[in-house]
Amino acid sequence: MGELATFEYGYTISASDRGEFRLIRITDIDEYGNISDKDKKYVDLANETDKEKYLLKENDIIMARIGSVGETAIFQSKEKSIFASYLIRVNLNQKEILPKYYWYFTKTLEYWNQVEQLTKGTVQPQFNANSLKEIQIPIPSLEKQKELIKEREKDLIIIGYQKQSINLLKEKQQKFLNNLW
């Protein structure tokens, strides 16, 4: 990764329930690598330089460097947002690797085995930019990356429908049980 990207640490600030920018924190990354809309927090930034430096753009990759080390999300929102200090933004050379391709790679066993090896032996797991530079990733052509992304997105649509079906069945079961009592 050291040859494919540069890395930036997030902004250190206390969050509140109101503000000009949403603050994306480690806790906002859900189990699927999406940014959750639950318990949103916000900040105001007075400094224009900070606004430009920490503003997230569509398809930015952010990764947890402390706690849930290695957890990675892709920013796909239109909401004005900045990223918090325990996150790293991964600025990929998009002439060689597409953000979604990298994001999907971070869901693989190959990625997680490398994260485990790079954090092994630490009391408080940390995964800083220097560790991230060591991650090895297969790089097919951009066309092949696009094909893989398209294939994965088809799978995710099916998974989404399955989750909806499961949730509907759970609701139906709960209603049934509630009616018994």
pLDDT at site 47: 82
Amino acid at position 33, single letter: G
**What is the CB-side half-sphere exposure of residue 140 using CA atoms within 13 A?**
9
Do residues 25 and 84 touch, judged by C-beta distance below 8 A? yes
Element (H, E) at 6: strand 5-9
Strand ranges across the sheet with 21-24: 42-43, 21-24, 81-83
Both tokens of 61, joined, read 């990759």
pLDDT at site 74: 94
Both tokens of 163, joined, read 């989750």
Give the span between the Cα atoms of 181 and 178, in whole angstroms.
Answer: 6
Name residues of the chain where pLDDT drops below 50. Answer: none
pTM: 0.81
Amino acid at position 99, single letter: P
pLDDT at site 125: 65
pLDDT at site 180: 77
Element (H, E) at 87: strand 87-92
Give the span between the Cα atoms of 117 and 102, in whole angstroms.
Answer: 19
pLDDT at site 81: 94
pLDDT at site 176: 84
